[in-house]
Structure 1
């Protein structure tokens, strides 16, 4: 007999699976480089636990920041918890360390693929969750925005997969 008060935390499981997908993709890029026209826009919470970026970047982006992995990046390292990468900001290379749990969106516009991570409450109860965040800042760093033709990416909201009562 099953306990009806317990439920499967599908939201948490989806978050874990999608972050695993990002880990797999970034690990492959770290080993083999970016294939074809692939490139990534990754928005993350600059205040999240484990984020390690230069103080001037935290000052400029106090809540969230979007990075672009495309033309120039160096020393991409991926582990079970997150990734570290060196990016160029106005001819000034900076090392960033970003836990997977800090990622808010991951988009590859070359294939119109995207993920958005919604907040998950402690009980995984949709009624306790805050409203979904907006699509992110429009003030991305100019130096990281050198990009070819940009297509709108389809963002998959994990709330789509949740059963609402």
Structure 2
């Protein structure tokens, strides 16, 4: 199985320090949906692992989050692709859960769902938390410069981190 895991905010859609709270605020980054569709059409299983502490903070509801994810799925499908499992952590940063990145829980959910190992599976993110979660499961950390990626690149990141301009560049590399 060719599996790739993506963070959501800052990788697929624009991020906001004020959180993406409504369907209208969920706006895809240029080229991101096409990149997911291209990977999917080429036989990749594309999944998402995303912290969504806005749920715990009461900024939006599970139905609103699911509506955002349905738009994401529909947009990818309109481009001829398919988006696999979307795994999200609904907890706040102080809840002590095992699923909030940088912990490995979300990635382990994806591995269990697909009955696969995560060794060297690419996990594409824009934050140090994403890269640390990848390392925790022996996945390949991949940093994109969209979202918070440029700020993250200024800090120490795991030694084996691959770096790309955006999700389109990741897809170009994997499909090239």
TM-score (norm 2): 0.27
Q: Greater CA radius of gyration, 1 or 2?
A: 1
* TM-score (norm. length: structure 1): 0.29
Which protein has the bigger strand share? Answer: 1
Which is helix-richer, 1 or 2?
Answer: 2
